[in-house]
Amino acid sequence: MAGMSSRTAAGLAAGVALAVLAADQASKAWARSTLPPGRDVPIVSGWVWFRVVTNSGASFGLLSGHNWLFIVLTLVVVLAVGVLVLRSQVVGALGVAALGAIAGGGASNLLDRIRLGSVTDFIEIHRWPTNFNLADAAIRIGVVLFIVALLLEMRRDRRPG
């Protein structure tokens, strides 16, 4: 990692992961305790609304009812991210932060699966095919940022030295 020790990388990734986990768990607790069950709460009329749903499967309700499978898969992903960060096999601070977001989102949804038996989703966007939560958003943004970090590193490595 360009100029970043494994200790610094681990601290950055852990900090991002904990921030994502805390924000996601707080937002889900708020949604479960505040939003009326089975009803839409418009945020931006016709475009964004809140509706609490639970999901024991993957995105789009795939493999619904196979919560145990997603517990195992999520554990593997979170552990793999930790190994990547600790072995300094990640490119720069952007890549480390991106992996922290992925790990934090995965850990938060994992916590839901273990505690509640399913993941709490509550954000719905017009023409987006499924409800989601902050953890899901952090995972997707983390994946995109990690790809950007890899592309930037490839570009840097190609420059004549």
Instruction: Report, as residue numbers or ranges, the catalytic residues.
Output: 121, 136
Phi/psi of residue 64, each to 5°? -55, 140
Q: Tell me the backbone φ, ψ of residue 50, rounded to 5 degrees.
A: -105, 135
Residues forming a β-bridge with 48: 44, 125
Q: Report how far apart, in Å, the C-alpha atoms of 13 and of each of 71, 73, 84, 91, 139 are.
A: 21, 20, 11, 12, 13
- How far is it, in rounded angstroms, from Cα 16 to Cα 13? 5
Contacts of 161 (CB under 8 A, 6+ apart): none
Residue 7 is encoded by which pair of tokens? Answer: 């200790």
- Judge residue 55's burial from the number of C-beta atoms within 10 Å of its C-beta, 0-12 exposed, 13-18 middle, 19 or more buried: buried
